[in-house]
Structure 1
Amino acid sequence: YDLARTDAHSPTFVPLRRRDAEYQVTFSPGAAVFRAERDHLELEMTVFVSPTQPIEFKILKIRNNTDHERLLQITPSMEIVLAETPNESLGVLESIIDENVHSIYFRNPRNNFVQGWAFVTTSIPAEFAETSRRRFLGHESRDPYLPYMVEHGHPDAGAPEHERKVAAFSGAIDVPAGEEAVVVVALGQTTTIEDAKRLADYARDPDHAFAELEANARAWDDQLSVLRIKTNRPDFDRLVNDWLPYQLLAARLWGRTGPSQRSGATGYRDQLQDVIPLIHLAPERARAQILLHAAHQYIEGDACKWWHRAPNGGTGLADRTHASDPHLWLPYVTVRYVRGSGDYAILDEVETFLEASPVPKDQEGEATVPLTSRDKDTLLGHCARGIDWTLDRFGAHGLPLMGSGDWDDGMNLVGDEGRGESVWLGFFLHGILLD
């Protein structure tokens, strides 16, 4: 916010939606750069995640292209959820503002999936920090596009407390004529408040932020340089060499942000399918994923359709269903991994099973927290048990039973009476047996 001109600027189109500014966005593996230019002020914000620590960085560069100094009020803010949706954490988040007004810490004691402390920190010399969304925005009659704290540099003390939490800071900086200023905002989450404070102290240092940006670029260069193709279509080359493997790792395998995966659960079939391209790009990741999924197979032979990791690292809430295909993806992917990598030793790796009550016949599925079984078997044994589970469930026409859906989840009612059969599953099983 330009105090002399009483005018607001943002490196992104939202929230100000200024039609008189020029905006650009550039994406590269591991980073997004947002640029805006207006009234002789250039803003550039680079957003990325540390390759080794649970920190997201936002580096804002502000360049003053006038012949005089500009006094700018910097007000970074973000809404804090720490749940699947904002409404689920209304009124339950705990917050602590650091005495130096550099960092704010948040915790959701009712989140059974991810526990610990989140932090937001900034390098600006903040005079104020606020956690109430209403005091940040101002009275409800105010237009939210220009929050009270942005315009005035401090929270609206007259506004009521609000159950929705934000992390907002405000502080002023001078940008000399023709020069540039740098602001860092970082956020993350870790197990203890002590670790959160340590990471916050580290992350708000601009030197550390720029070092992490370089490390991020090197990490993605190393990851994406393993296998490259070259054709007469440069656009196709970029897609295959960079964007598809980047999307696979960042969005699918790590973020797990595909359709119906907004909760961050691991899908048994989803993430096994995801690692097939990694057999050549990152075989160690494919290997680890295969063994992880073997350990999420029930002792009878079927598998979790999806599961969350418990705070202690074990298996948390998991969905056991009558779906007929998830367990078969384990042998399907294992065969392709062994053929592609030559790693036959993986077949002798030993993993445990899960134990849980069978799903009642009149239910499509049931979410429970399964127990880790004392029974173990080799990966080869896990694969065989999954195949046997399907071989024992054929219908009147000699085809595998559909259950509560094969690969097509939309067919969940075809076999809900225990009679529907799946032609696709028959082909899938046949291919696995031939392999």
Structure 2
Amino acid sequence: TIYHKTEYRERRNHFAYFACSETVAGFDTQREDFLGPYGSFAAPQVVKAGQAHNSVAHGWQPIGSHQIKVTLLPGESKRILFLLGYQENAVEEKFDPADSQTINKKHVRPILSDYLQFATVDRAFAELNAYWDDLLGRYAVQSPDEHTNRMVNIWNAYQCMITFNMSRSASYYESGIGRGMGFRDSAQDLLGFVHMVPERARERIIDLASTQLSSGGAYHQYQTLTKRGNNDVGSGFNDDPLWLVLCVSAYVKETGDWEILDERVPYENMVGSEMPLYEHLQRSINYTLKRIGPHGLPLIGRADWNDCLNLNCFSDTPGQSFQTTTNKDGITAESVFIGGLFVLAGKEMAGLAARREGSKAQNYLREAERMEKTVLEAGWDGQWFRRAYDDLGQPVGSQECQEGKIFIEPQGMCVMAGIGHADGKAKQALDAVAQYLATEHGIVLLEPAFSHYYLNLGEISSYPPGYKENGSVFCHTNPWIMIAEAKEGRAEKALDYYLRINPSAREAISEVHRCEPYVYAQTIAGKAAPSFGEAKNSWLTGTAAWNYVAITQWILGIRAELNGLCVEPVLPESWSGFQAQRVFRGVRYDISVTRQGKGNSVAMRVEGKAVAGCIVPLPAAGTKSVRVDVVLS
């Protein structure tokens, strides 16, 4: 067994171990000896020579390698176990003997003995399979589309769990303790995993709210181990607090756990500052209302959802952070996007308040209506919603602009919030998306891409045209358009956009996509880029949660509501229906959807009895399963 004990003798009381079920012929722990001069892991010198050096690392960059000699006859196979593990010792039991510098291995030896047995390993893998079968089985679908089935039933749900665990804090692209877990990121990630692990979603909500500022603002990032906000980045991203409202609402809808609103949660993790979570939500709403700009829209602060739209930065000095450099007072630049987000959050807050405060829920609806009116007056550009107003009070994302005339974010968020639904502006905005932003590889973030650096816009214009925030298919925002299209009843468009960035569907063009065909990437190079269609930055992206929400809750139409499970599919005419299984508040719902006409009007029967509307009433206590049949016409 190889033991790795960096810093063990000083400050740490944990170590790693690497073991094998076979008798080893040699080993190496010194990287340079293993790789050889100018060697690489693609062709290590030890592997080419067929002989280990038995090297012992004393610093630098250690590795772990076991050499095993195996002879196999034609058609013969042999199982070999490799065990990689981590062990902690009590401080008083670090060494054995106690006055030596030798690791105390007495607690790890039984583990090694047990897990180098095939029966133990087989049992452990069976338990792991059962764990994932249970999680992934909480929402399963059998639809006419193989790509939908593959992503919903396995890979999209799995990616949602990965983003829950890591947010954006650890990957090949984002690394180090300087970043931490994003407040906005983690709140959005929760939307995709809350139905699988609601108890852990509750913990995440409390962690997030505990880092909130007493002003209602939020640290943009926090560290998972200390549960403290990241001072290096700070706050001032003015959309952050509103995402807390959305994720708490999603949790209460999923679980019916109204008691969480009474949970006493501190501000900035300061002892003595504890207040009910519900008050945290109230302060989130008030944070926006206290930061209103000249047009009546929310002030953008350092940035909103798009961290690279820095309207108060004005940086012309190399090395400055676009996110933390502020050269303007921040009392002019406004965000239409936050306006749309506020309307959506205000309506969700009203739903919670109706039970908590009764008639006072109307206050939140009135504020949402007031903001909706402002967005339509100051945020409408004639064919689409503007993106923002800069520090000079000039519109961003307008026909008046030479570049960056139209952005995806406000079109998705405003329509999701219901803005423009009554007067047709919602459909008009979505038509503009189809005309100017939609491509065969997905919907680009803006058009035309910026061809040079704009001091008043910040980092977004620093990227090459067609990449990242400057006109790529920023996949995180595409589901907002899918949901918006579904809310407007345009099923063909919603599913079409879903399949354009669906990793499984894009496997057929892997030579272009150049990314894993089973997980979402953050970005796909846009039409202004030389590598149009090439994906980058997979795994840790909010794309996972939002695409899961788009397909499961709005296209398939099965979503949690405060008063029950809603089944309201918005399906393309070519679909004859689908079957689904959904675990909701401990009850298994077996759902059958059948098309008998061209539309998506719902006729529902629950356990054979007709039910008006699209909400399945909550069953009696003790009910294990519910049968739901839906006919679309």
- TM (normalized to structure 1)? 0.63
Counterpart of 2:2?
Answer: 103
Runs of 4+ in 1 over 6 A off after TM superposition: 109-112, 159-162
- The letter of the residue matching 1:180 is S
Q: Which runs of 5+ in 2 are unaligned?
A: 90-102, 314-325, 349-633
Q: 1:217 to 1:301 in 2, by over 3 A?
A: same
Alignment-derived partner of residue 266 in structure 1: 181
Q: Which residue of 1 aligns with 2:282?
A: 384
Residue-by-residue CA offset, 1:144-181 (whole Å, 9 max, x unaligned): 64423222422187x99872221112232344554321
Query: 2:267 is paired with a residue of what secondary structure?
Result: strand
Structure 1: state its 5+ residue gaps. Answer: 1-101, 355-370
Give the corresponding residue for 1:412.
Answer: 310
Number of residues of Structure 1 aligned to a counterpart in Structure 2: 312
- The answer to whether the aligner puts 1:353 opposite 2:252 as a matched pair is no
Equivalent of residue 219 in structure 2, options 281, 288, 304: 304
Task: Give, in angstroms, the shift of residue 286 of structure 1.
Answer: 2.4
Q: 1:260 to 1:111 in 2, by over 3 A?
A: farther
State the one-letter code of the partner of 1:374.
G
Aligned-pair distance for 1:245? 0.7
Aligned-CA RMSD value: 3.2
> Distance in 2 between the 1:317 and 1:117 partners?
28
Equivalent in the alignment of 2:160:
248
Cα shift at 1:338? 1.9
2:272 counterpart of 1:374: yes
For 1:242 and 1:294, the matched residues in 2 are separated by 31
1:188 to 2:82 alignment:
no
C-alpha change, 1:174 and 1:111, in structure 2 (3 Å) is same
- The 5-angstrom pairing of residues 418-429 of structure 1 reads 418-419=330-331, 420-429=333-342
User: Residues 67-92 of structure 1, C-alpha deviation per residue, up to 9 Å, x if partnerless?
Assistant: xxxxxxxxxxxxxxxxxxxxxxxxxx
Q: Which residue in the other structure is 2:461 paired with?
A: none
Return the offset for 1:406.
0.4
Aligned-partner residue type, residue 282 of structure 2: A
Partner of 1:432: 345
Aligned to 1:93: none
Change (3 A) 1:161 1:350: closer
Aligned residue for 1:387, secondary structure, equals helix
Query: Relative to structure 1, is the Cα distance of residues 386 and 148 closer, same or farther in structure 2, using a 3 angstrom cutoff?
Result: same
**What pairs with 1:216-255 in structure 2 (closer than 5 Å)?**
216-249=128-161, 251-255=162-166
**1:372 match: secondary structure:** coil
State how far apart, in whole Å, the 2-side matches of 1:340 and 1:199 are: 39
Q: In the aligned structure 2, how far is the partner of 1:299 from the partner of 1:208? A: 51
**Alignment partner, residue 134 of structure 1:** 32
Q: Is the 8 A contact 1:133 1:162 kept in 2?
A: no
* Maintained 8 Å contact 2:207/2:227: no
* 1:381-400 CA distance string (max 9 Å, x none): 11112222222222222221
Equivalent position amino acid for 1:245 in 2: A
Q: Deviations over 1:183-238 (max 9, x none)?
A: 12232334436566665554443332222211111111111112222222233122
Partner of 1:63: none
Question: In structure 2, do the counterparts of structure 1 residues 244 and 317 end up closer, same or farther at CA, with 3 Å as the change threshold?
Answer: same
SS of aligned partner of 2:191? coil
2:21 pairs with 123, 133, 150, which one? Answer: 123
1:97 match: none
For the pair 1:402 / 2:300, whether they are aligned, the reply is: yes
| Percentage identity across paired residues of the two chains | 25
- Partners of 1:223 and 1:248 in 2: how far apart? 11
Q: Does the aligned pair in 1 maintain the 2:220–2:230 contact within 8 Å? A: no
Q: Residues 260-299 of structure 1: matches in 2 within 5 Å?
A: 261-263=174-176, 265-299=180-214
Q: Secondary structure at the match of 2:242?
A: helix
Q: Secondary structure at the match of 1:337?
A: helix
- Say yes or no: does 1:211 pair with 2:123: yes
In 2, Cα distance between equivalents of 1:189 and 1:316: 28
Cα distance in 2 for partners of 1:281, 1:199 equals 30
> Which of the two has greater helix per residue?
2
Superposed counterparts of 1:79-98, under 5 Å: none
Instruction: State the secondary structure of the residue aligned to 1:124.
Output: coil
Q: Is the 8 A contact 1:124 1:183 kept in 2?
A: yes
SS at match of 2:140: coil
How far is the alpha carbon of 1:405 from its aligned partner?
Answer: 0.6
- Counterparts of 1:111 and 1:315, CA distance in 2: 26
Cα 1:142–1:345 change in 2 (3 A) is closer
Q: 1:425 to 1:115 in 2, by over 3 A?
A: farther
Report the equivalent of 1:171: 68
Amino acid at match of 2:278: L
Q: Contact 2:211–2:229 (CA<8 Å) still a contact in 1?
A: no
- Provide the C-alpha distance between the structure 2 equivalents of 1:248 and 1:266, rounded to a whole number of angstroms: 15
Q: Give the distance between the partners of 1:128 and 1:156, measured in 2 at CA.
A: 6
Matched with 1:338 is 252
Q: Give 3-state SS (helix, strand or coil) of 1:228's partner.
A: strand
Partners of 2:44 and 2:186 in 1: how far apart?
Answer: 41
